[in-house]
Amino acid sequence: MEYRITFMTVSSSVVDPSAIVVMPRLPGSLSSPADGRPEYPSSTLIFVKVLRNAGYPIRVATPEDVRELSHHAADIWLPVAAFGLQVLAGGAGNILADVLTRVFGSFPRRKTVAHIQWNVQAPDGSTHEFTFDGDAETAIETARAFERSLGYGGDEH
């Protein structure tokens, strides 16, 4: 299956270094009522519960107002999230892949196309965007390569 991937360096860091923060935004081209309220894709519930259950420090940016929008296509639209460097440190470059493996395991098998839009903090504190649209299996390998390209899993880790 074809896929699209983007590695982009983000100029300013908006990432909590100690947590995974789910941002109140819809990924990709998902439609919304556009009334200005914080909005999350309905995958947010699974994403948060699976990762919390696995011991990851994860939180939702606006816990008092988690408005979930459900789009019933057989694709996995993961929530937009920011990964802090302390979450990734010591993970031998496999944290993002582990996150995806765990989360995909809770989705139906028919959902084989994944859409991902994450900000990821590198060991030097700079923030980089990981965008992926394509086959879920490929997403896992691509996420691992991306994380290692930032310097995680190298000699210093």
Partner 1 sequence: MAAMSTDDGRTRLAEVRRKIDAYRAHPADFSDGDLLSLRRDARAAIDRLDDEPEFGVAHATLDEVGRHVRRDRPQLCVLTEDGDNFAQECPVALGHIRLGFSIGAEIEESHCSICERDLWECPHIPGQVYDGQPVTRIITKARLFEVSLVDRPDFPDARITSQSIVRAEVEDAFGGPLPANVRPVCDRCLTPCPGI
Of 105, 124, 155, 156, the residue at the interface with partner 1 (CB under 8 A) is 105
Q: 152 - beta bridge partners?
A: none
Of 2, 12, 73, 155, the residue at the interface with partner 1 (CB under 8 A) is 73
Residue 149 is a binding residue for partner 1 (CB under 8 A)? no
Residue 111 is a binding residue for partner 1 (CB under 8 A)? yes
Amino acid at 27: P
CB nearer to partner 1: pick between 45 and 145: 45
Residue 75 is a binding residue for partner 1 (CB under 8 A)? yes
Q: How far is the CB of 74 from partner 1 (least distance, A)?
A: 4
The region of 17-25, 72-80, 82-90, 125-133 touching partner 1 under the rule CB under 8 A is 72-80
Q: How far is the CB of 43 from partner 1 (least distance, A)?
A: 10
User: Residue 127: how many CA atoms within 13 Å on its side-chain side?
Assistant: 16
Question: Rounded CA gap, 102 and 95, in Å?
Answer: 11
Question: Rounded CA gap, 135 and 53, in Å?
Answer: 25
Residue whose entry in the numeric block shows the structure tokens 């196309």: 113
At 63, list the tokens. Answer: 């816990």
Q: 22 - beta bridge partners?
A: 60, 81
Residue 110 is a binding residue for partner 1 (CB under 8 A)? yes
Rg (CA), the chain: 15
Binding site for partner 1 (CB under 8 A): 30-33, 42, 45-46, 49-50, 53, 66-75, 105-113
